[in-house]
Chains A and B, each alone.
Chain A
Amino acid sequence: MDSHQDAHAAPVLNNAVPVRHPGRWISAVIIVGVLLAFLQSLFTNPNFRWDVVGTYILDTKVVQGVMWTLFLTFASMVLAIVLAILLAFMRQSDNPVFRWSSWTWVWFFRGTPVYTQLLFWGLATVLYPTVVLGIPFGPAAITWVTSDPTHGLIPAILGLGLNESAYLAEIFRAGLKSVDQGQSEAAEALGMTKGKIMRRIILPQAMRVIVPPTGNETIGMLKTTSLVLAVPFTLDLTFATNALANRIYLPIPLLIVAAFWYLLVTSLLMVGQHFIEAHYGKGVDNRVPAAVNPAAAKAAAAPSAEAEPDLKMDFPEEEAK
């Protein structure tokens, strides 16, 4: 390579005329124009009532609403993830009863609206005033009177979590299926047990496929929590801001307050998702050698290393030496 360049010491650069892109300029003018008009309206339109937004953005009821919304999101996602892992494993199981149950669960919870499910969970104590432990159609051993001392919290989490588990189960199943068959064969050939193969070999690789849509679902869940008024559960962000808006007859500034908080939390979740994706992309998404001890790196760079020119492309620091 070097001798080739020496032979033609100073090549005449082509200096070709680049293709012009007038479309980019036109689109920029239009979009910036619209943006400016919108910005101007934000400052000049009195109906936004920024003063009211300022008053309520850190209102105790609003901040508590954010906390409850976060808690609902977190609790129902944890419930959904635990159930979904179980459902995905059951779906892959050799046991036909498990496969069938998992399929039916997904069919039911994916096939009915989450709003309907939340209404049902809210009415669960009406539907089943007592729960009886005993033999079906036979004698009863123990009888409980159902009640909900949490004022809708448990029905809300159950409603959101069970519905979500059906969607996550499909995401997890797709993730597990995405891992090459050869991986479990190699692990089996090493004498690893099924549980260890799943935990140490299959799941970490499946996570690469599972994390992005699960992050998507988490962000979706954050906003689906606004439906818990169906239960009814009345402490979440949407309910809190709506209640305030109804009290002061100013819906717009309180919608802005709610939108601000949802956007902030979503942004934080996206940052978290980025780091989780980076973790599970190890060895696949990054092609930079990691965790090499310095001595070994030097040895690798020594000229005695076997000649594999195309591979060397991946190690610029070796080429430099």
Chain B
Amino acid sequence: MTITPEKPLVQIEGLHKYYGHHHVLRGIDLTVNQGEVSVVIGPSGSGKSTMLRCVNLLETISAGRISVGGELIGYREVKGRLHDLKTKEIAAQRREIGMVFQRFNLFPHKTAMQNIMEAPIQVKGQSKAVARKRALELLDRVGLGDRAGHYPSQLSGGQQQRVAIARALAMDPELMLFDEPTSALDPELVGDVLNVMKDLAKSGMTMIVVTHEIGFAREVGDRLTFMDGGVVVESGDPREVLANPQHPRTKEFLSRVL
């Protein structure tokens, strides 16, 4: 993929996160350019999911700043002081950011179609007809056009995750966050989800993907970031980092997962 002028969409600067006295993120810096696929790997407990959840404010930010599309996330800066945004303003910021969860989190009382139509109707105020048409397009795009009337409990994990991706896309976000999207899936179902994500990457979507799928990182990633102990240990071109890791902790991690 070619990215003409390097235009940063996401900028994370000096991000820290505490849970009580537990210092989970210890100063993360990460820039994701428009149209870029940024893959984040690392051992569990390294803080990569927490970092991702900070980007759409599912976690509060203890220190540092995150901006998406030039807009500061979660705060308003007035005379050099940060003020918390109201929940409504936070909701508005989240509309531009789609998120896919490890455990899908589809709404179990709604069909696949209704899951996708929910936010466009309720948040964007789209008409039912428009939302339905778009939902069908998206279901086709993730290969589930024939599953519109199925409830999540009637779908396999892989199918549920693809519906979840379609649901996030229905809001036309400018950024998609993937939080270990294939970790809860049976091995034979992982491929379908990864294929949908590859198509999405090809279409030019900006993506931050926290994953254990090294193959996906190598094939689709524009940048690979290795996190451990709440810091970025190493970051660079995925193929270079994977072939020739510089830091001993990266080497050790890769030797265990490859």
Contacts and interface: CB of A to CB of B under 8 A. Distances in A.
A139 interface: no
A205 interface: yes
B148 A296 contact: yes
A203 B241 CA distance: 47
B108 A296 contact: no
B107 interface: yes
A300 B147 CA distance: 7
Contact of A283 (B151, B189, B192): B151
Interface stretch (A65-73, A170-178, A284-292): A284-292
Contacts of A194: 87
Most chain-B CB neighbours within 10 Å: which of A186, A187, A194, A284? A186
A296 B93 CA distance: 36
B58 A185 contact: yes
Contacts of A6: none
B108 A283 contact: yes
Contact of A205 (B109, B164, B192): B109
A31 interface: no
Contact of B101 (A185, A282, A292, A310): A185
Nearest to B123: A191
A279 to B, nearest CB: 10
B107 A186 contact: yes
A188 B156 contact: no
Given A193-B88, A283-B152, A291-B111, A182 B103 contact: yes
A289 B123 contact: no
Contacts of B196: none
B121 to A, nearest CB: 10
Contacts, number: 115
A201 B123 contact: no
Contacts of A305: 146
Interface in B106-136: 106-111, 118-119, 122-123
B109 A191 contact: no
B171 interface: yes
Contacts of B91: 188, 191-193
A151 interface: no
Contacts of A289: 149-151, 154
A274 interface: no
B150 to A, nearest CB: 5
A204 B105 contact: no
B119 A191 contact: yes
Nearest to B139: A296
Interface in B153-210: 153-156, 158, 164, 167-168, 171, 189, 192
B168 A283 contact: no
Contacts of A290: 111, 149, 151
A180 B150 CA distance: 21
A131 to B, nearest CB: 38
A17 interface: no
A296 B149 CA distance: 9
A34 B155 CA distance: 51
B105 A183 contact: yes
A293 B154 CA distance: 16
A317 interface: no
A182 B58 CA distance: 11
Contacts of B15: none
Contact of B153 (A190, A284, A292, A297): A284
Contacts of B34: none
20 contacts: A182-B105, A186-B164, A187-B119, A189-B58, A189-B168, A190-B167, A190-B168, A191-B91, A192-B122, A193-B88, A196-B123, A283-B153, A287-B154, A290-B151, A291-B111, A292-B149, A296-B148, A299-B145, A308-B189, A311-B156
